[in-house]
Amino acid sequence: MTAHDKITPPRPLELARRHAPDGGGHRPFVVLLGPDYAGKSTVLAQLAEAMTRWRFLSVDDAHLAPEHALIGRLRREVVKDVAPHADAWSPEFFATLLQTAVVHLRDRLLDDDGVGRPAVVDSYYYKLLAKCRLAGVPEDPLLAWWRTFPQPSRVIYFDVTPETTWRRSRRGADLNLLEYYGERPEWDGFCRYQTDLDKALRDEIQGLPVTVVEEQARPEHVAAAVRQVLAHEFG
């Protein structure tokens, strides 16, 4: 089956509408979204190499400018020092640290780079917000503020099964504490967490234009599918 065949048509998600695309003064952008180990980082790297007229925004180290390296360090510290000691920190403190990455992505979007290039954003605030919800962060003004940020013209959702992402994680060997339930990375806790994460992500993007890219064997096929969506969206 070809990459074209693997793309499902844009369709509304099943849940009720929560928010609509923002009509503010930012330029249109697209978000790549999916569960852990869905392959977004690999596809983003392939797209960035081939599509030089686009901006590709991510809080992964490879996409951070040297002056923004703090963002990567803070994310690692959350996993290393906060997540293992949940009783020592409030859920709000946990969310406050993750907010540095969220605000960084918003700032890069609004910065526009002076050229007006369209942007592709890795996960935006949706994935971090979903993980905050799974960690027990209450629906307080902090998360509500994130939802006021500019909304994308389209979300491209990578629909990958937990069985596949478990295999990509080397059967749990590469997992961090924010990717599974339980004291150690085991299949049951991983599967339950990723199922809940998928539901939370779809909840956050309800009401937005969504194109689902079905699971495919090779990342270059996924990248080709995403390029097709971007070409249709922006020409």
Per-residue pLDDT reduced to its tens digit, 37-53: 999 999 999 999 988 88
Residues of the chain falling short of pLDDT 50: 1-24
Tell me the C-alpha distance between 140 and 112, whole Å: 29
For the whole model, what pTM was predicted?
0.85
Asked whether 27 and 118 are in contact (CB, 8 A), the reply is: yes
Residue entry with tokens 């099943």:
14
The reported pLDDT for the residue numbered 208 is 96
Burial track 4-39 (b if 16+ CB lie within 10 A, e otherwise): eebbeebeebeeeeeeeeeeeebeebbbbbbbbbbb
3-state secondary structure of 76: helix
Residue entry with tokens 């700032």:
107
DSSP 158: E
